[in-house]
């Protein structure tokens, strides 16, 4: 199994790469029996947002050669006006394409986690947004602060590339980052503790949804079938979570609400098109094609 290290060339990912390459205990702790460098790949993605991004590519390629690890790259021409969400989607699509059956590894740290929680709260998140970064992506630096990462880089005489967009007030995350500097260490610790509790709760809920889907949902190829009776009788919140589960999280909350209403009240042989999916109802069943 390969571990795909997402390396932008910035200080966080450079420190991650150095820790993985240098520290056998760190590798054992986070990657089990993986050996260096055979089981690792460095992946760099150029969003095409900055004119000078080619320098980052050259830097990471040279860095990979220095550590003797395999290197792959991808690119897009998103332009300077691209949003954070679009850039993130392209980046993760690339990383997953590289990983194949492997695992993506990112350099997200504790400060990133706090920022994401704050952003989700301000955007009116659902319960999943209170336990972010709970996916199957490996994030070995989540227990480290930005200050600790900077000190590691200085202590080990590392060099990195600075991305000017990280300091631009144009991006929402940067504005949030500035505001979070006013939080006391106690407040930060409390938020992280609550996130850990929410993460466990999220895991429990996901397990229940998997069990419920296994009992009530029939899947064949690209079709998912649910008896309308179940969706009508269960509480709306549970029904929406079940629909979220069986559609692979591809639909927004409003789309899930429309789909549930469609399943409850539509007459047989009606069809609903939404989010690249099709839903049909018979007298008894809702059939979703993704």
Percent of the chain with pLDDT over 70: 89
Q: pLDDT tens digit string along 124-144?
A: 667 776 677 767 789 999 999
Q: Is the pLDDT score of 16 beyond 80? A: yes
Q: Summarize pLDDT for 86-99 with one digit per residue, the tens.
A: 878 888 888 888 87
Cis peptide before 74 (omega within 30 of 0): no
- Residue range 283-288: mean pLDDT, rounded: 94
For residue 101, the tally of other CB atoms under 10 A from its CB is 6
Give me the pLDDT at residue 152, please. 97
Rounded to whole angstroms, how far apart are CA atoms 223 and 201?
30
Sign of the C-alpha dihedral computed for residues 149, 151, 152 and 153 taken in this order: positive
Which whole number is the average pLDDT over 158-178? 73
Residue 240, pLDDT above cutoff 90: yes
**For position 288, what pLDDT does the model report?**
92
> Domain coordinates of the chain in residue numbers?
3-182, 217-289
- pLDDT for the residue numbered 181: 75
The CATH label, of 3.30.70.1400, 3.40.50.620, 3.40.470.10, 2.60.40.1930, for the domain at 3-182 is 3.40.50.620
Reported as a pLDDT band with limits 50, 70 and 90, residue 166 is low
pLDDT at 80: 67
Per-residue pLDDT band for 176 (boundaries 50, 70, 90) equals confident
Cα angle value 151/152/156 (rounded, 5°): 115
3 state DSSP class of 56: helix
CATH class of 217-289: alpha beta
């Amino acid at each position: 199994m390969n571990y795909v290290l997402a390396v932008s060339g910035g200080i966080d990912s450079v420190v991650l790469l150095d820790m993985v390459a240098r520290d056998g205990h760190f590798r054992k702790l986070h990657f089990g029996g993986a050996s260096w460098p055979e089981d690792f790949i460095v992946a760099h993605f150029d969003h095409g947002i900055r004119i000078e991004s080619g320098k980052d590519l050259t830097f990471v390629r040279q860095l990979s050669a220095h550590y003797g690890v395999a290197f792959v790259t991808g690119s897009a021409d998103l332009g300077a006006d691209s949003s954070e969400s679009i850039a993130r989607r392209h980046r993760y699509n690339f990383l997953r394409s590289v990983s194949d059956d492997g695992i993506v590894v990112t350099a997200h740290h504790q400060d990133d986690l706090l920022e994401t929680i704050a952003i989700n709260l301000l955007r009116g998140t659902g319960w999943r947004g209170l336990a972010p970064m709970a996916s199957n992506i490996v994030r070995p630096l989540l227990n480290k602060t930005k200050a600790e990462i900077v000190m590691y880089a200085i202590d080990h005489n590392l060099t990195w590339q600075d991305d000017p967009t990280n300091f631009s007030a144009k991006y929402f995350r940067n504005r949030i980052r500035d505001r979070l500097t006013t939080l006391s260490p106690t407040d930060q610790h409390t938020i992280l503790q609550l996130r850990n509790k929410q993460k466990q709760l999220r895991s429990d809920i996901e397990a229940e949804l998997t069990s419920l889907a296994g009992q009530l949902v029939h899947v064949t190829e690209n079709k998912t079938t649910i008896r309308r009776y179940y969706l009508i009788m269960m509480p709306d919140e549970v029904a929406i979570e079940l629909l979220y589960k069986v559609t692979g999280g591809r639909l927004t909350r409003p789309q899930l609400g429309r789909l549930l209403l469609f399943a409850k009240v539509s007459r047989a042989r009606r069809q609903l098109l939404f989010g690249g999916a099709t839903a049909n109802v018979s007298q008894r069943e809702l059939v979703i094609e993704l």
